[in-house]
A and B are shown apart, each in its own frame.
Chain A
Amino acid sequence: MNFEFTEEQIMIQQAARDYAQRELIKDVIERDATGRFPSDHIKNLADLGFLGMLVDPKYDGGGMDTVSYVLAMEEISKVDSSCAVVMSVNNSLVCYGIEKYGNEEQKEKFLKPLARGEKIGAFLLSEPEAGSDATSQRTRAVDMGDHYIINGTKNWITNANCGSTYIVIAQTDPAKGHKGINAIIVEKNTPGITLGPHEDKMGMRSSDTHSVMFNDVKVPKENRIGDDGFGFSFAMKTLEGGRIGIASQALGIASGAFERAVQYSKERKAFGKELMYHQSVAFKLAEMAVKIENARNLCLKAAWLKDQHQPYGIASAMAKQYAADIAMEVTTEAVQIHGGYGYVKEYHVERLMREAKLTQIYEGTSEIQKIVISRAVLGK
């Protein structure tokens, strides 16, 4: 047992913290108001290597471990979850999916520019009528011999506009149920793809979320990841890793709000003394600290298991469910500690509270995580 971070892990954590606290903080409130996508920050994060940090250096990635990724995601999410989610989707869904399950040609062609951050990836699973229930895919990818023709609509797609490399989950053979599903790499500039309007969201407002419509989109067969019918299994396995990213994001949202609450409690006076000297506030902070520490340990445990090539699906489900739920609780308390100031945008915590909500919903709701966890617990 060893709880110490390596020198590299600490350097990555500091690099992420420095960028977030120095640069992301500058316009995060403005972007939250306008929904403007942070192209400049994404370019900088790509140059720093964060967008492909988990990818093997032989495919132009950073070659870092998942523990480092948790630390970096936490630091970025303390300030700006809209940037963190770009990083998460690119790293743990798109890059990971292609690196782990793609073939050499796909890695050469698609993974390398994604790992360098020159291209951004998007993961197209959710549909208007299939959110958490991923088995009922309505998007069709009809096998035409040497190519597929894709038709259908995907919803709530992160990076839909900024991204240019899509992984589309679509049904090829409905008779086979979820075993007829395929995962196919589709370049966004392929004819027949149109985007819906930018979703006007409650939080993470400057991340770019759209619906994507496919109308007779022709994709070469060599873009399919894995064997015919591997798509559902691919999606589930990839999401196991994705959960670590979102869990770390939730952790960052919680610890970002917590740090602000601690700072505020030291500065703000009420009834003649700083808030920190009021037990009602001090106890709140203690409870928040314990929750955050638990969430962090769950995230790091899941990351460590993944780095050790051990099964981590249950651990990542636990991390995501717990971190997301406590992010909601901790941010709500952080707003409460700030009182009226917490309710205005200048103090950041109300934004973090809005962002926390999404972590309980996307990449598998807290309820879905509980299904995964309970099945494991009950041996179902």
Chain B
Amino acid sequence: MAILVYTENWEGKFKKLSYELVSYAAKLAEDMGTQVVAVSIGNTDKEQLKTLGKYGASKVIAVCNGELNTLHNRAYTAVLAQVAQKENAKIVVLAHNNTGKALAPRLSVKLKAGLVSGVVALPISYQPVTFRKKSFNGSAFANVKVNSPSAIVTLFQNSYEIVEKGIEPTIEEFVPTFPEINAQVTNVDKVTGKILLTDAEIVVSGGRGMKGPENWAPIEEFASLLGAATACSRPVSDENWRPHSEHVGQTGKIIAPNLYFALGISGAIQHLGGVSSSKCIVAVNTDKDAPIFEAANYGIIGDVKKVLPDLVAAYKEFKAS
């Protein structure tokens, strides 16, 4: 028996998200008296694979095959299912991101294991195993019981603290079989060198209160000082002030950074649906009654165009001290 965790890599590297998943799986394993097996698909060197042990993986299974360099849901599912069966996985943990959302449902059918997606905490019970997940676009939590012998979960980002365990894992190569791939990637259009919105620990986001795309320079500057990603509200991307890839909210990207700056964003319910899991929200808005202040931890009433340069200066001063 084991807890299996799928650790996605990005060009051969794991991210904080991967370690969060391993830490979560390690706690499940500890509570259930078993161990964590991590599975990695793609070209990842041994040193990287070993880092998974640091957070609690006893065994790392590496699958390397040229055909699996891009995500093919059906093939990846076949691989994960084979590993899960081989390791007799009781629970399979994936991230609640694009990849996890693509694979977990398929895996649930393949293994006939109940899926709970968007899990935000450790199980509220192990007998039977019951997980807490987000529902109604973040307006409520649901406690979902799994009726099958094994379970699949996708974990919401930033739901669990990273904990170091310092295990020296065994590394095992695995050669899977998978069905023929009938989708071919013909073009990739990727921005490089920017911090990805979905990974960022800090996000600086602008709304209609910024008044126009020409006013984004201070946001960019503030973000680069903080090592943050930039984002925007829906009206801003609808107006083409910023690219659609920056739109956060219920219909855009759903993010959960440690720190979210909402600058000139009124905080419509659809926007809050995409950012409400942030650990800390700072709002700057001229309208003291803007709903964003209901969601924020810290607020400043004022015009972003005046407040932001002061904030940049204050942060520079803080960094220097």
Contact = CB atoms under 8 A, between A and B. Distances in A.
Interface string A107-119: 0000000000000
A230 B289 CA distance: 61
A268 B288 CA distance: 9
A267 B289 CA distance: 6
Contacts of B289: 267-269
Contacts of B291: 267
Contacts of B288: 269
Interface residues of A, number: 3
Interface in B101-130: none
Interface in B256-293: 288-289, 291
B83 to A, nearest CB: 47
Contacts of A269: 288-289
A268 B287 CA distance: 10
Contacts of A267: 289, 291
A268 B289 CA distance: 6
A235 B290 CA distance: 52
Interface in A267-289: 267-269
Interface in A225-283: 267-269
Contacts of A268: 289
Nearest to A268: B289
A206 to B, nearest CB: 22
Nearest to A274: B289
A303 B295 CA distance: 46
A269 B294 CA distance: 13
Nearest to B266: A267
A117 to B, nearest CB: 28
A96 to B, nearest CB: 39
B190 to A, nearest CB: 33
Nearest to B290: A267
A173 B245 CA distance: 71
B266 to A, nearest CB: 10
B55 to A, nearest CB: 45
B285 to A, nearest CB: 13
A297 B37 CA distance: 67
A269 B289 CA distance: 7
A235 B68 CA distance: 76
A267 B287 CA distance: 11
Nearest to B291: A267
A276 to B, nearest CB: 12
A212 B288 CA distance: 52
Nearest to B288: A269
A192 B179 CA distance: 77
Interface string A182-208: 000000000000000000000000000
A79 to B, nearest CB: 18
A301 to B, nearest CB: 37
A268 B291 CA distance: 10
A267 B292 CA distance: 12
Nearest to A269: B289
A57 B171 CA distance: 73
B146 to A, nearest CB: 38
A268 B290 CA distance: 9
Nearest to A264: B289
A269 B290 CA distance: 10
A269 B291 CA distance: 12
B312 to A, nearest CB: 30
A277 to B, nearest CB: 13
A267 B285 CA distance: 15
Interface in B291-308: 291
B214 to A, nearest CB: 21
A65 B90 CA distance: 60
A316 B297 CA distance: 55
A342 to B, nearest CB: 16
A177 B68 CA distance: 90
A346 to B, nearest CB: 12
A245 B289 CA distance: 38
B249 to A, nearest CB: 17
Instruction: Give the 5 A-B residue pairs with the shortest CB-CB distance, closest first.
Output: A269-B289, A267-B289, A268-B289, A267-B291, A269-B288
Interface of A: 267-269
Interface of B: 288-289, 291
5 contacts: A267-B289, A267-B291, A268-B289, A269-B288, A269-B289
